[in-house]
Amino acid sequence: MRSRVFAKLLVAFLLVIAATTVTLDLTLRRDWENSLLHEITGSLTQKTRLFAARVQHDKSVPLAQLVKEEAGSAEARATVIDASGKVLADSDANPQTMENHATRPEFIAALHGQTGSNVRTSHTLGIDFLYVAAPIPGGAVRLAYPLASVQEAMAQVQKRVLWASLLAVLVATVLAGVMAHSIARRLRRVVLFAEQIAAGNLSARVAESSTDEIGKVASALDHTARQWEESFTALERSRSELETLLNSIQDAVVAVAADRRLQWVNGTMLRLLGRNVRVGSPLTDAVRDPGVLRAIEESISSHQVRSARAVSLFPGRTFSVTAAPMPGGGAVAVLHDITEIERIEKTRRDFIANVSHELRTPLTSVQGYTETLLDTVSPSDSRVREFLEIIRKNSDRMARLTNDLLTLARVESGEQKMEVQPVQARALLEDAITNFRDLAQGMNLGVQLEECPPVIVAADRHAIQQVFSNLLENAMKYAHSGSQVSVGARETAGGAEFYVRDFGPGIASEHLPRIFERFYRVDKARSKETGGTGLGLAIVKHIILNHGGKVRVESQLNHGSTFFFTLPGSADELPLEEIHDKFTVS
């Protein structure tokens, strides 16, 4: 580095000196030469005029001698020329051998009454002269000053400038060496500092106290390194805290990069897998459960949160999987052990199913005996008949409740197997309208088919009719007499969305989030009057979920309610082999 900096500084100094020398030679030297020539011309002009005056008035001295005397006093060549250009006398040459001077510029100017001057090489002597001519009666006089002395002075000036330039080069070389050494030493410290920072040593600093540009750069680098060190320390502390937090939770956490390779796993996940897991290896080397793989793949592809269930990740345990996309690509999945929850849920369902099943026999007996007593009681005994009607009404309600509980338990547990087959969406709607047309007419209501696309969905026809049965019964209970209930379907990206709309009193917004919970009633008094059990919408929800669809409701007070549910198309799901292919990393 030192040699490069030295060479650059030396070249820079030499260029500056060369530019200065050329400038001096082209400007100052020429200006000085012109000034000197102008001064000589002025002096020679005065001498020429004095020469002309003597030639006119001094007749006592022969012309040849006068010319020699004037040449000696003026230190110049003296010449007298007549009006035709013929040389009459000359201090340095024989006038007889000299050529005619009629064409000389200074002589022409003198013939016109002016003092003329010119610089040229003498034809007689072969050297440069400054010629000045002044007019006299019948011709002109001329003095010629040799410029050899001026040229010699200029040569001396150029020689001195050259020596000064060489001295400047020598001084510049010494200065360049000193400055290059100082700058290179300071730059080496900066480079060493940068190398330490690149190697990860953020505590490195530059020992630089100067305030010039290099000092400012070093100070800025020091400040940047200090900020990086503080940020890295804070980041490392946050990462350590996050890692400790994730390792302390009971849920398993795994982070996957965009190329489907493992980025990080917490301690729970490591204990769960029970084998060596290498960060950077393909996800499928550590996890083979299709639910986990599907949730992560869909989250990476769609950049949305996806959920799934994992049943084969660990023998005898079930996990709920929630995969969320990461900003830089990839996804993070959290696996929550729901084995105990599902066991408790199964126990609850089994209990409800067993209790409901056990209640069916005594309830059937109560209903039968009540019907028998109603047939045998005397019409006049109204008090007894009233009590029997109450018994029959409540036993019927309890029978419906136990039937709904059994149905809900079977749907929730999966005991009620769905015989899913391709079926036209219009066929499902037409079956629902046909089944409830008579009941609607008896209640002075109309059931209308609004719209239906030519879509084939995958559905259990009997289970979907149970869904329509619950939704249409609710719609008819709350619809105004003389109005109508509308049903229809719309095509969606994955199948079709069905709806049942009534124009009744509607549902307040605070009830909508819980409307599909079991035993939840919006109007308990109205529900008792209509004989509702509070399980119909819960049954609808679980039947649709078992089909892979979703349910929702839209309602406003005094504007009716619309219940929606979706059914997927008839396409089969991807096999497990295709899911594994998506996670294969070459």
Residues 516, 551: contact at Cβ < 8 Å? yes
Q: How high is the pLDDT of residue 142?
A: 92
- E strand or H helix at 329: none
Question: Would 11 be classed as within a structural domain?
Answer: no
Q: How high is the pLDDT of residue 392?
A: 80
Q: How far apart are alpha carbons 350 and 355 in whole angstroms? A: 8
**CATH code for position 430:** 3.30.565.10
- E strand or H helix at 504: none
**464 and 388 co-located in one domain:** no
**CATH code for position 350:** 1.10.287
Q: How high is the pLDDT of residue 133?
A: 92
Residues 466, 418: contact at Cβ < 8 Å? no
Q: How far apart are alpha carbons 153 and 146 in whole angstroms? A: 13
Q: Residue 223: what residue type?
A: H
Q: How far apart are alpha carbons 491 and 568 in whole angstroms? A: 10
**298 and 394 co-located in one domain:** no
Q: How high is the pLDDT of residue 580?
A: 43
Question: Would 543 be classed as within a structural domain?
Answer: yes
**564 and 460 co-located in one domain:** yes
Where in the sequence is the domain holding 356, given as residue range(s)? 343-413
**CATH code for position 59:** 3.30.450.20
**22 and 96 co-located in one domain:** yes
- E strand or H helix at 386: helix 382-413
Question: Would 262 be classed as within a structural domain?
Answer: yes
CA-nearest of 308, 297, 300 to 334 is 308
Q: How far apart are alpha carbons 105 and 122 in whole angstroms? A: 13
Indicate the burial class of 363 (C-beta count within 10 angstroms; 0-12, 13-18, 19 or more): buried
Q: How high is the pLDDT of residue 415?
A: 63
Domain boundary among 118, 152, 186: 152
Rounded to 10 deg, the angle between the 576-583 and 290-302 helix axes is: 50
- pTM score of the predicted model: 0.46
CA dihedral 145, 151, 154, 159 (to 10 degrees): -150
Question: Would 221 be classed as within a structural domain?
Answer: no
Residue for token pair 């012109």: 34
**299 and 377 co-located in one domain:** no
**511 and 407 co-located in one domain:** no
b/e burial code for range 14-45 (CB count within 10 A of at least 16 → b): beebeeebeebeeeeeeeeeeeeeeebeeebb
Show the tokens assigned to 94: 């024989």
* pLDDT per residue of the chain (586 residues) written in tens, 0 to 9: 555 666 776 677 677 777 776 776 667 667 767 777 788 888 888 888 888 888 888 888 888 888 888 888 888 889 999 988 898 888 888 888 888 888 888 888 888 888 888 888 877 667 788 899 999 988 999 998 887 777 777 777 777 777 877 787 777 777 767 777 777 777 777 777 777 777 777 777 776 667 777 777 777 777 777 777 788 788 878 777 776 766 767 788 888 898 888 888 888 887 777 766 778 888 888 888 888 889 998 999 888 999 888 888 778 888 889 999 988 788 998 988 888 887 877 777 677 667 666 777 787 887 787 888 777 877 777 788 788 888 888 887 777 777 767 777 777 666 667 788 899 999 999 988 888 888 888 787 888 888 888 889 999 888 899 889 888 888 888 777 667 888 999 988 888 999 999 888 888 888 888 888 877 776 654 445 555 567 788 888 888 888 889 999 998 888 888 999 999 987 544 344 444 444 443 3
- E strand or H helix at 489: strand 484-492
Question: Would 426 be classed as within a structural domain?
Answer: yes
Question: Would 576 be classed as within a structural domain?
Answer: no
**349 and 329 co-located in one domain:** no
What domain count does the chain have?
4
Question: Would 182 be classed as within a structural domain?
Answer: no
**28 and 126 co-located in one domain:** yes
**373 and 258 co-located in one domain:** no
Domain boundary among 309, 337, 365: 337
pLDDT, tens only, 68-96: 888 888 888 899 999 888 988 888 888 88
**428 and 547 co-located in one domain:** yes
Question: Would 198 be classed as within a structural domain?
Answer: no
The DSSP output letter for 568 is E
Q: Residue 144: what residue type?
A: A
pLDDT, tens only, 360-388: 778 788 778 788 877 787 777 778 878 88
**34 and 148 co-located in one domain:** yes
Domain boundary among 107, 123, 152: 152
**330 and 359 co-located in one domain:** no
